[in-house]
Structure formats: structure tokens, C-alpha cells
Structure 1
Amino acid sequence: MTHDVSYFFCGIGGSGMLPLAMIVQAQGNAIEGSDRALDQGRTPAKFDWLRAHGVTLHPQDGSGVTRAEQIVVATGAIEDTVPDIGAAKRAGATIVTRPQLLSQLFNAAPTSVGVAGTSGKSTITGMVAWILHSAGRAPTVMNGAVMKNFADPDHPFASALIGGADLFVAEVDESDGSIARYDPTVAVVSNISLDHKSMEELRDLFGGFTGRAKTAVLNLDNLETAALAQTLVDQGRADAVVTFALGNDDADLSAHDLKPLPTGMTFDLAERSSGERLKATLNVPGAHNVANALAALGAVRALGVRLDEAVKALESFAGIRRRMEVVGTKNGVTVIDDFAHNPDKIAATLKTLHAFDGRLLILFQPHGFGPLKLMKREFIEGFAGLMRPDDVLVMPEPVYYGGTTDRSVGSEDIAAGVRALGRNAEALHDRAACGDRIVELAQPGDRIIVMGARDDTLSEFAAELLARL
């Protein structure tokens, strides 16, 4: 990729765009961009930060795109209705999508780690980043969420880490099919379950991804990822597979004797080939984070990091924003902000929280009408199966950004299903009403959990709840 090119990011304030722009800038290129939020006066601090870091900002009206030599970066969908895209076509500028650009940067690195799977991607990516950084390997990292270890006043948007050009770590998404563009040295797949695409499509995408890698790190506790491992073995590529599992000695890396701590976990790590056993401590909670840690350990081991060094680094891994993030405690009530939005992630969160006593007041804001219809039964059975008799689920209607979405299944359908199975669930018309209801219910000893994705205002909502207690 040539340097000193002028890139124009359309929607530069976005959580996926801003870190990518910073990585491209660090490689010596000029960065310009536009954003609707900037035009509407939202999140001004973010745009001040970008200006202070040498980014030229324009209104999102096409006025910033004037030259054929500009490379215009758009989100996955290139719509001619976006003024910058229309201007790019008129000027003869090159247009690339975010997944195209990210995969080009990724594939250009001599060594790369791609982290994929339905759940756990951001956390595993953050863990790999922290271990490699601690080992002095200077990775460049593109994550889908803010890594708390790298966030400070000068880097408030630390979903990326600027490192060297020879080692690139990225969270890789299957929901838009862009996983097919990545050719990783190490491919990690945490788990595969129904989320955005059919199982047939997912098997093809993940199978291609692991098949192209030099080493595939795969979870034996998930039927689909275990099948991927078996496929590689059947192809005579057993040496390319690193497996991990909870409590299963057949895996290359396994975790035993898991013990929950209020803010983390301890476990014994066993390495099959050497017979080595190590004590490990995590400061992020839940059995699912032990599985995430095993995935990260498998990835860095494939890059030559010593297991004891990697385990030591994991002890100081501080977590990912909005992954069971404690907002605060007031009058005996703790507020937790969480990204859980599909049945698997919700289950992991509820199991982790139920390792300790205390009622849960759950606010779940679905991230669309589509997922509710696709996974209605899984949502109902998941909540009803994991809630305790005194827990309460409160749901506003799904996030709706307009358009022709089928809105036949709403939050009341889920709440009614959970009530029919004997648990407390309410659907209210909007989030503000849900907030009022939760504040009214809250008592000392309760934990309020705010769940949902694709809505940056949920964190502000969680902070407001804490203030009202």
C-alpha cells in the first residue's frame, strides 16, 4: 500500500471508521472525513480530538471530495444517495468499503491474527493485543470495541492500537460476509451459532477462513468449531490445528477448576503437549472469559510467545468497554453496562452474574426487529431458563432506524413468552419508561444490567440510571 495518499472517510466518527483512519494515518497518509453527527452537533469532543490529531473535517455534503486521487472510504453499503459518494463518482475518485480497506491492510502484514466467531471476538482481540504488547511485539490492532488497557486521556477511542507494520491483529466479521477477504497467519474461531446468516453460509465462510490460515485456533466446546478442527485433521493438516476447551484434557489448551471471584476468575491451565500446568487469574468475570483467554493463549502461542509470559500478561488485562462493565454502585445497587444482544451472549452474561447472590433487574433493548423474529424462541427460552424467580426483565421496543423492516414480532412477544414460562417480564413503550420502572423497583443488593448493541446512547442511559438511584 503506497504512503502519502489522501484518504477521505465518510462517517469518520463511527466506531469502526475512526480507529481505521488512525491506523491509515500512522502509515503516513493524509486523512480527511465527514460525519452526520458532526453536522448535527453531536459528540463534539470526538471531532475536536480528530482535528487535534491532524484530521481535516468537512460537512457531509460532498464538498470535501473534489479530486480523482482521493480514496473515499465508505461503510459496507455504498449508497449513491450519500453526497460524498456521489461527489466521489463525479470526481473519478476511488471508492473502497471499510471491510475492503481493513482486509487490504491486514493481508499486507507479513504476520496476522484474525479473530472470528459469533461471540467473544472483541474480548479475544483485546487479550491478544495486550499479551503481544506486553511481550514487546508492537502489534497493530483493529478491534470492534474500546480496549481499556490502551484507553487514556490522549487515546479515548482505543478500539485500535498503532504498532508496527509487520504484525496485524483484527476482529473479523462474518455478518457482512467480509471474513472471506481475510488471509490470516493465525485464524481464531471462538464459536459459531445462528446470529446473522444461515448455518450453511456460516460453515462455508468459517471453513474458508480457517482453511486459508497457517494455524487455526478452535474451540472443542462448540460443535461447529469442533467440526472445523476435524475437517482440517481429515485433510492431513493436524499440525495446523490448536484446540481449546473447558475441562477437556483432549484439547491442546484446557482450563480446569474454575473458581469465580467477584470481578474475575481463577483456573488451572493445562497444556497437552508439554504436560505443563499453570495457575491463571483473570480480572474479567465469567466462564466465557476463561474460554476467551484460552483462545487468546492459543493464538499467541502460535506466534512464539511463551505460555507463562502470556498467562502473566492476562492477569492485568482490564477488559473491553461495555462487556459487563461496572458503571458504579449507589445505595447498595450496582449498575452494569453490557453489549449482550443475541441469546448466546445474554446467556453468558446471566450465568456470570448468577455466580453471585442478588436479584437482577435486566433492561434488554433489542438491536432490531429482524433478530427478534428470527430468534424469538431462543430469546424466550434463554431468558426464562436463566432468570431466577425474583429477577425482572424490562424491554423497550427494538431500535428502529426506519425502512421496510418486518415489525411483526416486538418486545411484548418476548416478554409474554417469558411470563408464560413463569418469570417476571414487562415490555414498555420506550426506554425512558423502562428506566423509570427499574428505578422504582431497585432495592439494596440488586444489580441492574443494561443490555443491547448498535446504540451508543445505552452507556449514557446506564450512567443516568446510576445517578437516579
Structure 2
Amino acid sequence: MTQPKDHFFCGIGGSGMLPLALIVKASGARVEGSDRARDQGRTPEKFAWLEAQGIGLHPQDGSGVTRADQLVVATGAVEDTVPDIGAARRVGASIVTRPELLSDLFNRAETSVGIAGTSGKSTITGMVAWILDRAGLDPTVMNGAVMKNYVDPDHPFAGARLGRPGLFVSEVDESDGSIARYDPTVAVVSNISLDHKSMEELRDLFGGFVGRARTAVLNLDNAETAALAQVFADAATEVRTFSLENAAADLSAHGLTPLADGMAFELRSRAGLSLPVRLTQPGAHNVANALAALLAAEALGVQPEAGVRALESFQGIRRRLEVVGSRNGVTVIDDFAHNPDKIAATLKTLHAFDGRLLVMFQPHGFGPLKLMRTEFVDGFAGLLRPDDVLLMPEPVYYGGTTDRSVSSGDLVGDLVARGVRAEAHPDRAACGERLLELARPGDRIVVMGARDDTLSTFAEELLGGL
């Protein structure tokens, strides 16, 4: 892809678009953009910061797309109903999707690390970034979430690390099928489970991703990724495996010990290495994420000892079990969990310690709610304790023709029938009022959901309301 110098990002404030725009700008391109959230007055501090970086912002009405030499970057589907896309058609500007642009940058790098899987991608990407950074390899990193190690007053939205273009680390998405565009040097697959596509489609997509890599890092504790390890055992792709407790893996973790501020465990390699490890992130799932990151870094020449030292100072990813604060004996936690696997990991981690959970789960769309209704119900019913309470507003909805036949109320009805203390409320504000009414010392309020930056603001407001 020959890229014009001028790029216009439609939806530039999105968690996937913003860091990509910064990477493109660092290459010397002129960057402009628009965002519906800006037009609606949501997260104004983010857009003020983008303008301070020299990025021109326009209303999402087509007025910013005026020249044929602009490259208009769309989030996913190219829809003519979006004014910027319509304007691009009128002036003859080129149009690419975000996955097309990102995969082009990724595939042009001499060495690339693609991190995929239903859950854990953003955390593993952040861990790999920090390990390679500490090793002096200066990677360029594209993440779909803010990496706390790179946040400072001048960079509050650190979803990217701007390093040398020859080493590119990126989170890779399977939900839209774009994983098929990436040709990684190192392919990491954390796990595979039902999310946005059928299992048959997912097996094809992840299998192709692994088959195009020089080295694949696969999880033996997940049935689907363990099956991939068997499929590629005698293939040209070098397979490296990780596991919790299974010493047959190339790297395994033993003696997992939950701590108030993270996890401790013993790292063992099949070659005989044994190291104590301490993470500042809680939960067994983060131990698995660390193993994946260590193997990915080792494939690029960073030995596990150096990787472990880096991980001890890894601060985590924003909105991944992030403690907003505590007041009057109640702790508020902001979390990205939005599919059954992520929700299970969060609940298991939090239940390692005493205290009732008051969970507000905002589904990230009507489509996923319908697709995974049974899995959501089974997950919450199986993991919420009798005194926990689940509150749900309606799913995120920004307009369009989405099938809205399954609502949060339907899910709550299923859960109540299973004996779960669950309530449906018309909106998030009503959920907030109810959470504050229920909260008592010792409780933990957990705000769960994705694709909505204002959830973090909501969590902060809850803390203030306590």
C-alpha cells in the first residue's frame, strides 16, 4: 500500500484508532480526524489532548474530507451513510479500513509480533512491549488499551509506543476476521472461545494466523489452542507452549499464590530453569498472560531472566481490574470484562478475597448479547456467590440496524430463574443510584463493560457518590 502523507481518521478517539493515528503521525504524516463522541461532547479531555498533539479535528459531517490526496481511514465496514466516507467518495479520496492500514504497517516491519486470542490480548501486548523496551529493542507497539507504564502527564492515552518501525508489536483482532491479514514473525494465541464468530470460523482464522508465523506461542490449558499445538507440531512453524502447572509445556507456572497486590509463582522451563516471579497484576489469568509474553520475547532473543525482571515493574493495562479507589469501606473497580471468558477471569480473581461483589455489567452490544446469551447466563450463575448482586442496564447502542430482540432484561430474567440476585434497570444512571443504595463497608463495586470510554467516568462518579 502506497500511503499518501495526509491521513483522515474517522472515529479517531476510539481505542483502536487513536494509537494507530499516533503511530502514523510519528512516521511524518499529517493526521486529521473526526469522532461522533467529540460531536456529542463525550470525553472532551481526550480530544483536547489530540489537538494539542497537532492533530486537526473536525465534526463528523464530511467537512474535514476535502481533497483527493487524503487517505480516509474507516473503523471497519466502509459505510456510505457515514458523512466522511460519503465526502471521500465525492472528492475521490482513497479509503482504507483500520485493519488494512494496521496490517500493512505490521507486515512491512522486518520483525513482527502479533498477539491474538479471545482474552488477554491487551495485557500480553503491554507485557511484551515492556519486556522488549527494557531489553533495549525499542519496539513500536500498537495496543487497543492504555499501557500504564507509558502514561505520564504528556501522554495520558498511551495505547501506542513509538519506537523503531522495524520491530512492530500489535494486538490482532479476530472479531472482524482481519486476523487473516497479518503475517507475523511471532504469533501469540492466548486462548480461543466463543465471542463474535462461530467456533468453526475461529478455528480457521487462528489456524491460518499460526501457520503464517515463524514461531507460535500457544496455551496448553485451552482446548482449542492445545489442539493447534498438535496440528502444527511437525510443521514449519516452531511451536512454543505455556501452561499453569503442566510441566510438559516449554514454560509453566507452579505454586500460584494470590497476593493483595498481585500474584507470586515459580516459573519453570522444560529445559530446567526455575525462577521466582512476582507480578503486580492479580489473577491466574495474568500469570498465563505473563508466560505468553515471556515466550514471545524469548523468540526475539530476550532470555526469561530478563523478562521476569521487566515484568516485576509492569504496571498493567488501564481498565483491567483497575482499582479506582475506596471510600467508607467500599472499593470501586473498573474492568473491561465483556465476554464470558473475561468475566469469569475477573470474578474468579476477585473471589480469591473476601467481600461481596456488586457488579454492574453493561453489555457491549445487542448482537453479542444475543449470540452469547446462554454463555453469559451460565457464567454469572456459576460464579456469582449468593450474596453478590448483578445490575444490568441496556447494551451500548449508538444507532443503526442492529437486531435488538434480546435485551438485558431477558438475561436478568434467565439469571433470576437460576437463583441469582440480578436486576435490570433502564439505564446506567439508575444502576448507579441502586449501587450506592446497596453498598456497605466491605463491598466491592465492579463496573464491567467495553466499547464505552465513559464507563471509567461512571466508576469515578460512583466513588464520589460513596
Alignment TM class, shorter chain as reference: over 0.9
Deviation at 1:455, TM superposition (A): 1.3
Change in CA separation of 1:62 and 1:373 when aligned onto 2, cut-off 3 Å: closer
Question: Mean Cα displacement is larger for which, 23-32 or 352-361?
Answer: 23-32
Contact 2:3 2:71 in 1 (8 A): no
- Distance of 1:45 and 1:398 partners within structure 2: 25
In structure 2, the residue corresponding to 1:418 is in which secondary structure? helix
- Find the counterpart in structure 2 of residue 254 from structure 1: 252
Deviation at 1:82, TM superposition (A): 2.1
- Find the counterpart in structure 1 of residue 444 from structure 2: 447
**1:71-119 deviation per Cα after TM superposition (whole angstroms, max 9, x unaligned):** 1111111111222222222222211111000000000100000000000
Contact 2:9 2:33 in 1 (8 A): yes
Deviation at 1:269, TM superposition (A): 0.4
Aligned residue runs from structure 1 range 192-271, under 5 A: 192-235=192-235, 237=236, 240-271=238-269
- Distance of 2:390 and 2:43 partners within structure 1: 31
- Distance of 1:161 and 1:394 partners within structure 2: 36
**1:289-308 deviation per Cα after TM superposition (whole angstroms, max 9, x unaligned):** 00000110110010000110
Residue type matched to 1:419 in 2?
V
Question: Mean Cα displacement is larger for which, 425-434 or 213-222?
Answer: 425-434
Contact 1:3 1:29 in 2 (8 A): no
Residue from 335, 347, 350 that aligns with 1:350: 347
Deviation at 1:41, TM superposition (A): 3.9
Deviation at 1:3, TM superposition (A): 7.7
- Distance of 2:414 and 2:281 partners within structure 1: 32
- Find the counterpart in structure 1 of residue 378 from structure 2: 381
Residue type matched to 1:372 in 2?
L
Deviation at 1:435, TM superposition (A): 1.1
The TM-score, its normalising length taken from structure 2, stands at 0.97
Change in CA separation of 1:418 and 1:313 when aligned onto 2, cut-off 3 Å: same
Residue type matched to 1:51 in 2?
E
- Find the counterpart in structure 1 of residue 297 from structure 2: 300
- Distance of 1:70 and 1:372 partners within structure 2: 37
- Distance of 1:395 and 1:45 partners within structure 2: 28
- Distance of 1:301 and 1:247 partners within structure 2: 20
**1:388-435 deviation per Cα after TM superposition (whole angstroms, max 9, x unaligned):** 111111111222233333333222222232223233111122211111
- Distance of 1:242 and 1:279 partners within structure 2: 21
- Distance of 2:151 and 2:426 partners within structure 1: 36
Is 1:361 matched with 2:350? no
Contact 1:3 1:27 in 2 (8 A): no
Residue type matched to 2:170 in 1?
A
- Distance of 2:201 and 2:3 partners within structure 1: 36
Deviation at 1:346, TM superposition (A): 0.6
Residue type matched to 1:299 in 2?
A
Give % identity: 75
- Distance of 2:430 and 2:165 partners within structure 1: 49
Residue type matched to 2:269 in 1?
E
**1:146-165 deviation per Cα after TM superposition (whole angstroms, max 9, x unaligned):** 00110111111101110011
- Distance of 1:425 and 1:303 partners within structure 2: 47
**1:133-180 deviation per Cα after TM superposition (whole angstroms, max 9, x unaligned):** 111111000000000110111111101110011100000000000000
- Distance of 1:40 and 1:363 partners within structure 2: 24
Structure 1: give runs of 5+ residues left out of the alignment. Answer: none
In structure 2, the residue corresponding to 1:299 is in which secondary structure? helix
Change in CA separation of 1:32 and 1:247 when aligned onto 2, cut-off 3 Å: same
- Find the counterpart in structure 2 of residue 32 from structure 1: 32
- Find the counterpart in structure 1 of residue 5 from structure 2: 5
Aligned residue runs from structure 1 range 58-457, under 5 A: 58-235=58-235, 237=236, 240-272=238-270, 274-457=271-454
Contact 1:261 1:285 in 2 (8 A): yes
Change in CA separation of 1:80 and 1:358 when aligned onto 2, cut-off 3 Å: same
- Distance of 2:34 and 2:398 partners within structure 1: 20
Deviation at 1:366, TM superposition (A): 1.3
**1:28-71 deviation per Cα after TM superposition (whole angstroms, max 9, x unaligned):** 11112222333344433322222222222233332322222221
**1:248-284 deviation per Cα after TM superposition (whole angstroms, max 9, x unaligned):** 0000000000000012000000111x20100000000
In structure 2, the residue corresponding to 1:233 is in which secondary structure? coil
Change in CA separation of 1:200 and 1:135 when aligned onto 2, cut-off 3 Å: same
- Find the counterpart in structure 1 of residue 459 from structure 2: 462
The TM-score, its normalising length taken from structure 1, stands at 0.96
Aligned-CA RMSD value: 1.5
Deviation at 1:341, TM superposition (A): 0.9
- Distance of 2:429 and 2:42 partners within structure 1: 20
Change in CA separation of 1:403 and 1:305 when aligned onto 2, cut-off 3 Å: same
